[in-house]
Amino acid sequence: MNTSITNKRNKIHAQKFALWAAMASISMMFAAFLSAYIVKQASGNWLEFSMPITFFVSTILVLLVSLSLHVTKGYLRNSSAKYYKAGVVISLILAILFIISQYVSWNTLVERGVDLKGNVSGSFLYLITGIHVLHVLGGIVALMISAVYAFFFPFDNSAGKSQKFDLVVNYWHFVDGLWIVLFLFLMFYK
Amino acid sequence: MANITVHEDDVLIKDQGFDDHFHEHHHGDKYQTNFIFHYIFSMDHKIIARQFLITGMIWAIIGAAMSVIFRMQLGFPEESLTWIKPLLGKWIEVDPTTGIGKLVPEFYYALVTMHGTIIVFFVLTAGLSGTFSNLLIPLQLGARDMASPFLNMLSYWFFFLAGIIMFYSLFLSTGPFSGGWVAYPPLSALPQASSGSGTGMTLWLVSLTLFVVSVLLGGINYITTVLNLRTKGMTLWRMPLTIWAFFVTAILGLLSFPVLASGFFMLIFDRSLGTSFFLSEIFIEGQALDRVGGSPILFQHLFWFLGHPEVYIIILPAMGLVSEVLSVHARKPIFGYRAMVYSIMAIGFLSFIVWAHHMFMSGVNPFLSNFFVVFTLIIAVPSAVKVFNWITTLYGGNLRLNTPMLFAIGFVSMFISGGLTGIFLGNSAIDIQLHDTYFVVAHFHIVMGVAAFFGMFAGVYHWYPKMYGRFMNETLGKIHFWGTMISAYAIFWPMHYLGMAGVPRRYFSFESFDAFRHFTDMNKFITVFAIIAFAVQLVFVINFFYSIWYGKKMKSKNPWGATTLEWTTPIEPIHGNWPGNLPVVHRWPYDFSKDEREFVQQHVPLREGEVGDH
């Protein structure tokens, strides 16, 4: 055998890497929205409004989702099937509450006279939070699939299955972090 | 030691290859079992590559036929077009007294728009990068397949769906979108702006959004495969230049297409939900629109942030293919391998910070334009490095002037001619005169249209044996090359003169302009060659399909004497690419004329004292 082969391949998990690539791609899309926001705001005719309180609730909810999923991941690793199932369900409920809090916030804004068709600052808010919610819905679908596996299939924390759940958790951390960035931006960028 | 024969080759991989236990599981079976899963919903990268290629060819014929029709209008506005009425229907208006049929101006715009959209996205993005990334990434890296064959299949089917929707839009009674392939608002944002801005534009948006999804799925896969699935010994610095090009292309696509998607989402909001991101103070039939405060320039920024990297998404794969083809058929190592890689990276990086050079005349701050001028001109540096290296690779080579090689050399020629005019257009001051004239049309058609097609043809002729186990006909290939080469220059060279004289692009007719009257014959000349160019492409199509069944059979595994791994796979392609072990790589991909050996394949072990990297 030849001995000159010293360069070992870097083993990054292929699916995990693909998820990172997808995150980069999604980030670029939101970066484009935010730059459009900055440019548009600089050109004037920009309505200022305060954020509804329910957006703060959303922020707490995403932090809880991330925390809950992180803990749940630990239960999966430690083979605590019962806690794992509970964790998945709690995360799912928190995630759905997030969507509801977003919906309530939109309604509050409309009541205050900030609607989609009015000033472009409002349009941007609905656009950015709306597209973000679409990404959260994607995460909810993934979490529902995890729930189906948790409840209707035998408990399995083999490397393959754990890694799949890891992907779901990582995606959720991403959309949660994204929300915090977006929220801080919308609130403080003046 | 003589050249490695087919037999020794197998033994080498069997003895020294890397066993990944692939064939112990029978996951290949589901691909092979029936027609539907083998040829249609296939997850095998080699089949998907062919699907991309053939779909791209169909679109290329449609897109090119459109250009012939509008060239007829430009070259021979007096002639009757009644004979294509059966095809175009109401878009040809026949004068009842004289019987002369005229192209309807709205449809002329639709044709120009669709020609651009189809060729840029469906042919030169999906058809070029989709085909060769799929075919070559796993084969040249020594991988069994893509990182996710399923996403790969989805990538093709999203593209297919995008194509179906775009095709459907061609048959709308209001016509397809006609506001230019760049889809600037307000023509794209107001459904009432023109007949194609209604349903035509809606379908255009849906189609291209699906297309973005396809590109992203493909791109994620290509990047992941390159980083994770290289065989043993295949370090990044031992990857063929094709792979480097596809890799950087995929990164560009992954980072720039989402920005286009953002622009599309905002456009969809403006069209359907009444927002005014891009619309402002517009009067329609005396009535003020209720949209205020939008900026059409904003869309241009978002569009060109994709749009500029997009031209490199088109040209980089062609550059990669050409580097490989030139080196193999010149029987010489590529000159300056590392410089080539760094140039690809530099071009990729710079492509993100030059987008506003498409907008010098859109009313952006002239001071800001200066930065974009400087960055644009800097792109000339890595491009010139690449051109220099291609020419130096050819210099003193043992050239085989077969069809792939001719197209590769033709690519270099086109890239130089078109690249030089880019230096003119990159200057914001000169752009005041040249902007939106035929000079621009000539520039981008040569540098990214014809050149990218040449790269693609070089690739198709070169890797055809790998795809179909047969060769394409050489004589027809040479007719195809010389016909295309001559007519491409005959079409686009004169356009520079038109442009310098200020003839604007996108005009339906110049009959009412005295200043452009003396160009009538030049326009006729261009149109005649456009028709010849189209006819010559049909020779290629016939050659392609004829050779699938009746071409000369490939007798040995490595007919070109190439060094890369795809030529170590069996002639009859199999699922998993290699029957037993995976080849292990010991050297860089350009060991031609080394020591006393004519070429050394990448999986051949190093001799005592030999160096594998360069």
What are the DSSP calls for B530-563, one per residue? HHHHHHHHHHHHHHHHHHHHHSEEP-SS-TT---
The pLDDT value given to residue A9: 47
Residues 18-77 of A with CB under 8 A from B: 18, 21-22, 24-26, 28-33, 35-36, 39-40, 43, 45
Q: Which residue of A has its CA nearest to B277?
A: A120
pLDDT over threshold 80, residue B321: yes
Which of A12, A26, A116, A123 to mutate: most B Cβ within 10 Å? Answer: A123
One-letter amino acid at A178 equals L
DSSP per-residue string spanning B109-158: HHHHHHHHHIIIIIIIIIIIIIHHHHHHHHHHHT-SS-S-HHHHHHHHHH
Q: From chain A, pick out residues whose CB is under 8 angstroms from the CB of B296.
A: none
Q: Per the CB < 8 Å rule, is B216 touching A32?
A: no
Q: Which residue of A has its CA nearest to B222?
A: A18
- CA dist B533 → A46, B37, B191 (Å): 53, 37, 36
Q: From chain A, pick out residues whose CB is under 8 angstroms from the CB of B223.
A: 17, 21
Burial of B297 (0-12, 13-18, 19+ CB in 10 A): middle
Q: Which residue from A81, A51, A85 is spatially nearest to A68, judged by alpha carbons?
A: A85
pLDDT over threshold 50, residue A123: yes
One-letter amino acid at B290 equals D
A145 touches chain B (CB under 8 A): no
CA–CA dist A25, B219 (Å, integer): 10
Q: Which residues of B132-152 are buried (b: 16+ CB within 10 A; e: fewer)?
A: bbbbbbbbbbbbbbbbbbebb
Question: For chain A, what is the mean pLDDT?
Answer: 90
Q: Are B282 and B310 in contact (CB under 8 A)?
A: no
The pLDDT value given to residue B29: 47
Q: Per the CB < 8 Å rule, is A39 touching B298?
A: yes
Higher pLDDT, A162 or B452: B452
- CA dist B105 → B184, B191, B395, B577 (Å): 19, 18, 50, 52
Query: Over the stretch B68-77, which tens digit does the pLDDT of each residue have?
Result: 999 999 999 9
CA–CA dist A147, B229 (Å, integer): 31
Q: From chain B, pick out residues whose CB is under 8 angstroms from the CB of A123.
A: 269, 275-277
The pLDDT value given to residue A100: 97
pLDDT over threshold 80, residue A170: yes
The pLDDT value given to residue B326: 97
Query: Over the stretch B466-482, which tens digit does the pLDDT of each residue have?
Result: 999 999 999 999 999 99
pLDDT over threshold 50, residue B606: yes
Query: Over the stretch A135-147, which tens digit does the pLDDT of each residue have?
Result: 999 999 999 999 9
Give mean pLDDT, residues A68-75: 94
The pLDDT value given to residue A4: 36
pLDDT band at A8 (very low <50, low <70, confident <90, very high): very low
Q: Per the CB < 8 Å rule, is A25 touching B255?
A: yes
The pLDDT value given to residue B2: 44
A-B Cβ pairs (cutoff 8 Å, strict) = 119
Question: For chain B, what is the mean pLDDT?
Answer: 92
Higher pLDDT, B452 or A79: B452
pLDDT over threshold 60, residue B181: yes
The pLDDT value given to residue A118: 84
Which of A2, A11, A110, A120 to mutate: most B Cβ within 10 Å? Answer: A120
Higher pLDDT, B43 or B38: B43
Q: Per the CB < 8 Å rule, is B233 touching A36?
A: no
One-letter amino acid at B171 equals F
The model's pTM is 0.93
- What are the structure tokens assigned to B543, written together? 């050659």
Q: Per the CB < 8 Å rule, is B293 touching A127?
A: no
One-letter amino acid at A140 equals I
The pLDDT value given to residue A1: 35
Q: Per the CB < 8 Å rule, is B262 touching A32?
A: yes
pLDDT band at B30 (very low <50, low <70, confident <90, very high): low
Q: From chain A, pick out residues whose CB is under 8 angstroms from the CB of B262.
A: 29-30, 32-33, 36
Q: Which residues contact A127 (CB under 8 A, 6 or more apart)?
A: A33, B265, B266, B269, B275, B277
From the CA of A86, how many Å to the nearest CA of chain B? 31
The pLDDT value given to residue B27: 54
pLDDT over threshold 90, residue B363: no
- Least CB-CB distance to A21: which of B220, B269, B292? B220
CA–CA dist A30, B480 (Å, integer): 46
pLDDT band at B26 (very low <50, low <70, confident <90, very high): low
Query: Over the stretch A80-95, which tens digit does the pLDDT of each residue have?
Result: 889 999 999 999 999 9
Class of domain A55-188: mainly alpha
pLDDT over threshold 70, residue A10: no
Query: Over the stretch B124-150, which tens digit does the pLDDT of each residue have?
Result: 999 999 999 999 999 999 999 998 899
Query: Over the stretch B104-128, which tens digit does the pLDDT of each residue have?
Result: 999 999 999 999 999 999 999 999 9
pLDDT band at A11 (very low <50, low <70, confident <90, very high): low
The pLDDT value given to residue B70: 94
The residue ranges of every structural domain in chain A are 55-188
Q: How many residues does chain B have?
A: 614
From the CA of A128, how many Å to the nearest CA of chain B? 10
